Structure 1
Amino acid sequence: MSLKVIIVGAGEVGYYLADRLSLEGHDIVVVDSDEDKIKRLERSLNVMAIKGSGASAKVLERAGVKEADLFVAVTNSDEINLIACLLAREYGVPRKVARVRSEDYLSPESPLNEQKLGIDLIINPARVLADEIVRLSEITEATEWAEFARGKVILLGYQVKENCPLVGMSLADLKELRALYDFVIVAIIRNNETIIPSGSDVIRKGDKIFIIAKKKDISAVEHLLGFTTKPPSRVFIIGGGQVGAFIARQMEAKNIEVYLVEKDAARCEELAEFLKHTVVLNLDGLDAQELLKEGIDRSDLVITVTDVDTVNILGALLAKHHGAKKCIVRIDRPDFIPLLSNLGIDVALSPRLLAANQILRFVRRGQILSVATFLGSEAEVVEMVVPDTEFFRKGRKLQEIEFPKGAIVGAIYRAGEVIIPKGETTLYPGDDLIIFAKREALPKLEKLFSSS
């Protein structure tokens, strides 16, 4: 079903959402006060762009707020986002989403929280990024992570290194390994191109591979494929802003030895009050000599989350050069990300795109239960329900179904059980499917699994 969507804010998050949702056939209107951003939208995307403030009732009426099904406010101003959503509420828009940085609106005890403001979803990008980094830190070699089917199915991304036993093997060669544990390689990213592989595709050094497996089998599958899982015991965080503080708080609760590096002395005092078991260091994150004195070379994980991309990249490169085992880097400019794996950086995450993906998960309608999008890939992983239609009612084997090109079923969740499918596996109404699909295949998938 096509939705009328108004997006206030044409920065990275707004642009990304407009791009994704317009490709799915939704009617998109974007509002922004910056003329350059409006021109960029008009040049690049098939959307309506309106110059003006999202906090103006007149501007929103021009955008068609009275007919909107969904309203998303993602400017850099908390106040504009909240006022815009309050206006949308008064115009009767059924679903409203706001990006908000301040913690004041996130607590259930706050006098102005989601419920009291009448906003369906408030997203804090710093918290979303911190949560994702903590999850990824627990899986030593994984560069991407997502869970589906109520946490029973995991999708992991790995960079294939020279010493990986998979190098030179075709997917057909992996059949013997798959006989030991159920897993499936659903995608290979090579030279920034996403490949949905067949049996003849060969894994090469430098590839990024995506694996879907049962959560209970992940450790065994990783061991089988030459990857390792060992949560870190010693972590350095460079950047004591909101993100760094959130990460340190979660990690010290897991009894991890945490060192938090921040160059602003006043902020260090605040952090020392906030964090009870973290060593707060008043240092420059690029001062290699001082960091070596503190033992950054012996760390299992270095996380760089300052507000400056170049500092995050250089800090991670310095740490890796001096012996840090793994680095996770915050990047605000997603166009940098494809370059970073070539530099030896393990994981790069964009807070804006993570926030956008969380909004996409909320927006999805129809048969899509959840979605995960990975940076550097033109694909998404979607969880969809097999509808109770005449086509599926008596069951359909996977090999009988004409799936769109660029889509592969990685797992099926049925009555509490996970099935890693083969061609002869039968689908029944009510099955949850975890599907890895290129972006252009998504509209066809939605049509295939539509209940109408």
Structure 2
Amino acid sequence: MRIVIVGAGQVGFHLSRHLSLEGHDVVVIDRDPERIRRIERELNVLPLLGSGASAKILEEAGIDRADLFIAVTNSDEVNLISCLISKEYGVKRLVARVRNEEYLSPGSPLNEEKLGIDLLINPDRVMAEEIVQISQVSEAFEVVEFVRGRVALLGYQVKEDNPVCGLSLAELKGLRGIYDFVVVAIVRDGQTIIPRGQDVIRPEDKIYVVVRKSDIAAIEYLLNFTSRAPKLVFIIGGGRVGFLVARQMEAKHIDVRLVETNRERCEELSERLSQSIILNFDGLDAQELIEEGIDQADLVIAVTDSDTTNILASLLAKHHGARKCITRIDRPDFIPLLGKLGIDIALSPRLVVASQILRFVRRGAILSVATLLGSEAEVVEIVVPPSKRFQQGVALKDLPFPSGAIVGAVTRGSEVIIPSGETILKPGDDLVIFSLREAVSGIEKIFAPE
């Protein structure tokens, strides 16, 4: 597939790297010579210096042969104009990142449908939705849903005092009783392992588990994790993301205390949020935070525009007894360092947006893709095709599955199956597969329609 990407910032770079590794023909356009040099130096793509809103530059990029166009510059106008130009050249699928909420309103004359753009993605909305979803499973550092919310992939960090430490996956399987789950990956010392029965869980491992959503509580009990919906949440930063998170948490009847330094913004938030308590002080003021009950907080969400403030506010909250923190980080290269500092979850808006776009970029039988932050792995949702191989049904163990991939769940109609090697796959089955990035092409070959 030929893909043209306009914008070589963090989102564009991440998308380019991911899609080029999958074997797609990727062209990247940007006006910044330094970004173009980085792309040229580090990625196997075609870099092009110029404006994505220029028809001449788009022609040089071969826009008339493109199957997919993605515009992720920092300018809404450039993103929209470049999409509209690409549409005139016959590109079938268009994606644009937009920050202005007006473009997302159903009644707007410039919304997604009226512009003819397949996906308009707003970073603030996507970030807020990710935060709220993670907050509902308090022990997990990552939560991704599949099959219309019936299957969940959960990431947990195993502490030293957890009784599952020292158990092999085969031993863990023997303890699970009536509740099925699959440990699809272990991340240890920065390396992602697709585990087998003999692999042993160690302290500080990050494990990824696929479960039926209805079984989450039972599986957490078995694995000695205890999640509960937060009752008291502090939000540090009253910007767009902070406001959107507060509004969604109000709808869930959660006690929200939103800290914002700007007095005028506090007055605006007070008018727009009916139940949240708006606090006008610095999010790094320990005395004020303690007086307002930060030590009793189930969750602290630091989402100011400053990485430094977010990191320090999270560390301060944890020091004074907050149970969990979610920290916004604009520099994704900092994320691997923050866990060692005691920060529970670090989210980069750019990587969250890139992951959402990759879910939209469907390939063949693949329905969606979720890239896992801080891991060279992803989860794909794929439908078994009506090909000759699957007509009579085939056992998982009989498929030439790449070693870097594992099936976490099979959905057939209303039934969700947590599979074993004996599970029979049939045409129309919906699979959730955890895969190292280099194994994706092998998965595509197995499930390619004839």
Q: Answer yes or no: same fold by TM over 0.5.
A: yes
In structure 2, what residue type is equivalent to 1:397? A
In structure 1, what residue type is equivalent to 2:75? S
Do residues 384 (structure 1) and 382 (structure 2) align?
A: yes
2:402 equivalent in structure 1? 404
Q: In the alignment, is the contact (CA less than 8 A) between 2:266 and 2:280 conserved in 1?
A: yes
Which string of whole-angstrom CA distances, capped at 9 and with x for unpartnered residues, describes residues 369-398 of structure 1? 111111111111111111111111111111
Match of 1:43 among 16, 36, 41: 41
1:66 equivalent in structure 2? 64
Distance in 2, matches of 1:84 and 1:55, equals 5
Q: Which runs of 5+ in 1 are unaligned?
A: none
Q: TM-score, normalised by structure 2?
A: 0.98
Match of 1:202 among 182, 200, 206: 200
1:113 equivalent in structure 2? 111
Secondary structure in 1 matching 2:427: coil
Show the 5 A alignment for 1:37-436: 37-436=35-434
Distance in 2, matches of 1:401 and 1:89, equals 41
Which string of whole-angstrom CA distances, capped at 9 and with x for unpartnered residues, describes residues 297-323 of structure 1? 111100001111111111101000000
State the shift of 1:111 in Å.
1.7
Distance in 2, matches of 1:178 and 1:422, equals 14
Extract structure 1 runs of 4+ deviating beyond 4 A: none
Q: TM-score, normalised by structure 1?
A: 0.98
In structure 2, what residue type is equivalent to 1:59? I
Distance in 1, matches of 2:100 and 2:161, equals 45
In structure 2, what residue type is equivalent to 1:58? K
State the shift of 1:175 in Å.
2.2
In structure 2, what residue type is equivalent to 1:390? K
Q: Which runs of 5+ in 2 are unaligned?
A: none
Secondary structure in 2 matching 1:145: strand
Secondary structure in 1 matching 2:343: coil
Distance in 1, matches of 2:148 and 2:297, equals 33
Distance in 1, matches of 2:317 and 2:261, equals 17
Secondary structure in 2 matching 1:382: strand
In structure 2, what residue type is equivalent to 1:39? R
State the shift of 1:140 in Å.
1.2
Distance in 2, matches of 1:326 and 1:211, equals 20
Number of matched pairs: 450
Distance in 2, matches of 1:426 and 1:313, equals 48
State the shift of 1:103 in Å.
0.5
In structure 2, what residue type is equivalent to 1:321? H
Distance in 2, matches of 1:88 and 1:101, equals 20
Which string of whole-angstrom CA distances, capped at 9 and with x for unpartnered residues, describes residues 273-319 of structure 1? 11111111111111111111111111110000111111111110100
Distance in 2, matches of 1:405 and 1:173, equals 21
In structure 1, what residue type is equivalent to 2:298? D
Distance in 2, matches of 1:175 and 1:67, equals 50
Distance in 1, matches of 2:286 and 2:432, equals 44
Which string of whole-angstrom CA distances, capped at 9 and with x for unpartnered residues, describes residues 152-191 of structure 1? 1111000111221211111111122223310111100001
In structure 2, what residue type is equivalent to 1:156? L
Secondary structure in 1 matching 2:323: coil
Distance in 1, matches of 2:229 and 2:30, equals 43
Secondary structure in 1 matching 2:389: coil
Secondary structure in 2 matching 1:391: helix
Distance in 2, matches of 1:254 and 1:216, equals 19
Distance in 2, matches of 1:89 and 1:406, equals 38
Q: In the alignment, is the contact (CA less than 8 A) between 2:365 and 2:449 conserved in 1?
A: yes
Which string of whole-angstrom CA distances, capped at 9 and with x for unpartnered residues, describes residues 232-289 of structure 1? 0100000111100000010111111101111111211111111111111111111111
In structure 2, what residue type is equivalent to 1:262? E
CA RMSD of aligned residues (A): 1.0
Distance in 1, matches of 2:401 and 2:176, equals 23
Secondary structure in 1 matching 2:160: coil
Distance in 1, matches of 2:361 and 2:148, equals 19
Distance in 1, matches of 2:135 and 2:443, equals 33
Distance in 2, matches of 1:333 and 1:405, equals 32
Distance in 1, matches of 2:94 and 2:185, equals 34
In structure 2, what residue type is equivalent to 1:152? R
Q: In the alignment, is the contact (CA less than 8 A) between 2:361 and 2:368 conserved in 1?
A: no
Distance in 2, matches of 1:372 and 1:165, equals 30
Deviates more, 1:358-367 or 1:243-252: 358-367
In structure 1, what residue type is equivalent to 2:419? P
Distance in 2, matches of 1:316 and 1:238, equals 9
Distance in 2, matches of 1:292 and 1:245, equals 22
Secondary structure in 2 matching 1:381: strand
Distance in 1, matches of 2:251 and 2:147, equals 27
In structure 2, what residue type is equivalent to 1:314? L
State the shift of 1:437 in Å.
0.4
Which string of whole-angstrom CA distances, capped at 9 and with x for unpartnered residues, describes residues 25-78 of structure 1? 111110000000000000011101111111111111111111111111000111
Secondary structure in 2 matching 1:142: coil
Which string of whole-angstrom CA distances, capped at 9 and with x for unpartnered residues, describes residues 66-91 of structure 1? 11111110001111111111111222
